């Protein structure tokens, strides 16, 4: 069975993995472990565990489809700001406010079974997932970004949701303290037939996974084909003004790969109504430009777009292309 490793984090990874599990593939999902915001960040700070947000998405994506809808509702449930008294009225601020049930579930399993890896394994068994979910590293580290004006931004959440001028380009990403690739993740990459990077937020989800010590060596040692999936939209504070070639160039720089064997790029346009909604968030379609050919041996273009109330890749179409490579 063909071994496929997908590297990265975020909702793009969820969409891709959910499509891949429909094919006869041996799937390993490698997720970033450096989130610092929201429920995941609080659990990281209070309990000293790896932030569980992206792992939660990976488990859901690969979960048995018969239970997937119920699990999605349960795992994505966030506790409200206020609790309820016995009389039914509001009872002040809830200590669980903002926490995702899925994050708490993983934190509990990690505590019960003595570590994050065992917690993930037990969750994988309970959800009957197809494949494996692994963190890129077990080291506690933070993402740092250096902007073009020299400003240093600390923490994944401050890159993801910028409090600075998002028009400024990011010139460098690094981890502090340094992190080392998890040994099982290293083994999976070296033995893979296909290694897929993207889609996902470039500097808060994808590049941090490539910055861990040993990742470049693992990628170079692997004989598997290297595949990149271009994002559909730019993101203010990360890829504002980017074309697809800019994204791929950055992935090559941080991965140490000379060229991707394949780059997959959507060329289907979205409706003007949806585009206008994204413009309010300073997000624009990422253009599939001619310079992409400089960074890959094979450029695959097509309609990989699924338009609903949000812009996202079509799980089935993009997974079918990857499964046939």
- Compute mean pLDDT per 10 residues along the chain, 325 residues long, and list them: 91 88 95 67 50 77 76 75 53 63 81 85 87 92 95 91 92 96 97 96 95 98 97 95 97 97 94 91 94 96 84 92 95
- The residues that bridge with 4 in the sheet, in sequence order, are 27, 194
Ramachandran angles phi, psi of 37, nearest 5°: -115, 170
Find out whether 83 and 94 touch, Cβ atoms under 8 Å.
yes
C-beta neighbour count of 296 within 10 angstroms: 21
Strands (E), 167-208: 170-176, 194-197
Give start-end residues of each CATH 3.40.50.10680 domain in the chain: 1-10+18-31+180-325
CATH of domain 1-10+18-31+180-325: 3.40.50.10680
Residue from 280, 256, 197, 271 nearest 231 by CA:
197
In order of 17, 288, 309, the CA distances from 268 in angstroms are 21, 10, 16
Ramachandran angles phi, psi of 35, nearest 5°: -60, 145
Taken in order 171, 311, 103, 99, is the CA torsion positive or negative? positive
pLDDT the model gives residue 83:
52
d(CA 203, CA 158): 11
pLDDT the model gives residue 239:
96
Contacts of 6 (CB under 8 A, 6+ apart): 13, 16, 17, 20, 27, 28, 29, 30, 196, 197
pLDDT the model gives residue 91:
55
- The residues that bridge with 195 in the sheet, in sequence order, are 5, 226
């Amino acid at each position: 069975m063909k071994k496929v490793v997908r590297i990265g984090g975020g909702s793009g990874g969820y969409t891709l993995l959910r499509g891949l599990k429909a094919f006869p593939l041996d799937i390993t999902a490698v997720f970033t472990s450096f989130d610092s915001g929201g429920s995941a960040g609080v659990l990281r700070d209070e309990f000293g565990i790896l932030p569980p947000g992206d792992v939660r998405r990976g488990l859901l994506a690969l979960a048995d489809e018969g239970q997937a809808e119920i699990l999605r509702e349960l795992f994505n449930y966030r506790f409200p700001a206020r609790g309820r008294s016995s009389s039914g009225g509001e009872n002040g601020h809830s200590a669980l406010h903002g926490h995702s049930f899925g994050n708490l579930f993983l934190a509990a399993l990690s505590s019960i079974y003595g570590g994050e890896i065992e917690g993930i394994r037990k969750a994988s068994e309970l959800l009957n997932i197809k494949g494996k979910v692994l963190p890129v590293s077990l080291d506690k580290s933070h993402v740092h970004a250096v902007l073009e004006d020299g400003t240093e931004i600390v923490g994944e959440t401050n890159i993801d949701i910028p409090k600075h001028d998002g028009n400024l380009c990011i010139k460098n990403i690094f981890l502090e303290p340094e992190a080392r690739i998890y040994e099982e993740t290293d083994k999976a990459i070296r033995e893979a037939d296909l290694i897929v990077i993207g889609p996902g937020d470039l500097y808060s989800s994808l590049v941090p996974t490539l910055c861990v010590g040993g990742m470049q060596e693992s990628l170079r040692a692997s004989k598997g084909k290297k595949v990149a999936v271009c994002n559909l939209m730019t993101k203010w504070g990360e890829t504002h003004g980017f074309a697809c070639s800019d994204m791929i160039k950055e992935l090559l720089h941080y991965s140490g790969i000379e060229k991707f064997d394949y780059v997959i790029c959507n060329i289907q346009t979205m409706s003007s109504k949806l585009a206008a909604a994204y413009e309010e968030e300073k997000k624009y379609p990422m253009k599939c430009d001619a310079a992409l050919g400089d960074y890959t041996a094979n450029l695959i273009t097509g309609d990989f777009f699924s338009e609903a109330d949000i812009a996202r890749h079509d799980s089935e179409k993009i997974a079918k292309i990857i499964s046939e490579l």
